Amino acid sequence: MYKGIVFDLDGTLVDSKLCFRTIRKQLGIPEGQWILEYLDQLPRQEKAAKLAELEQIELQAARNSDLYAGVLPLLEELRSKRIKLGIFTRNCSSVVRQITGKFKMKIDLVVTRDDGPPKPNPAGFKKFLETWNLMGHELLFVGDVYHDIDCGKQAGVKTALFTNGNSITNSNLKPDHQILGYDDFHHCIK
């Protein structure tokens, strides 16, 4: 059984209703560009201003967010099995604090873009593995997009794709587990 389970946030634990197309439009980011990476190469002042604007958009989305069905009971169950729980997200720390506070989620370790290079850079996994003293195969990463699975594989951890009831459309994607919903999680922790 896994000793640690790390979740992506948006689209995995919470339906945050973030529309990246709208965000790009609002911040003047060309379609198809990665938001954080685009902002990172802007002049310092412009970058700071746009990151602040992005954070406001994310905080507003967090206020309107909903947890996916079954998340809280699952987290409680995993906690009762003494499995460490983490969040690894491209979102910022203030948003994670707001969401974990709003839904009273107990998470042992959170890694956000404020802590280091954002996903899909796999460096953030080092923090989970070192803090919890785990080997890669003892850690499961649950995410909702291709880049999550790819990032987990690069870090040498096990991966699960949360599909929210959909079937996998990308055949290159070979997660260790596929989760339709959180009442369908038990096959991952047998």
Q: What is the binding site for Mg ion (CB under 5 A)?
A: 8, 10-11, 144
Nearer CB in complex with Mg ion: 11/70? 11
Nearer CB in complex with Mg ion: 75/87? 87
In degrees and rounded to multiples of 5, residue 86 shows phi and psi of -140, 165
Shortest distance in whole angstroms from residue 12 CB to Mg ion: 5
Shortest distance in whole angstroms from residue 143 CB to Mg ion: 6
Nearer CB in complex with Mg ion: 8/150? 8
What's the CA angle centered on 65, arms 64 and 70, to 5 degrees?
A: 145
Instruction: Report the residue closest to Mg ion, judged by CB.
Output: 11
Shortest distance in whole angstroms from residue 17 CB to Mg ion: 12
Nearer CB in complex with Mg ion: 22/133? 22
Shortest distance in whole angstroms from residue 154 CB to Mg ion: 17
Shortest distance in whole angstroms from residue 178 CB to Mg ion: 15
Nearer CB in complex with Mg ion: 131/163? 163
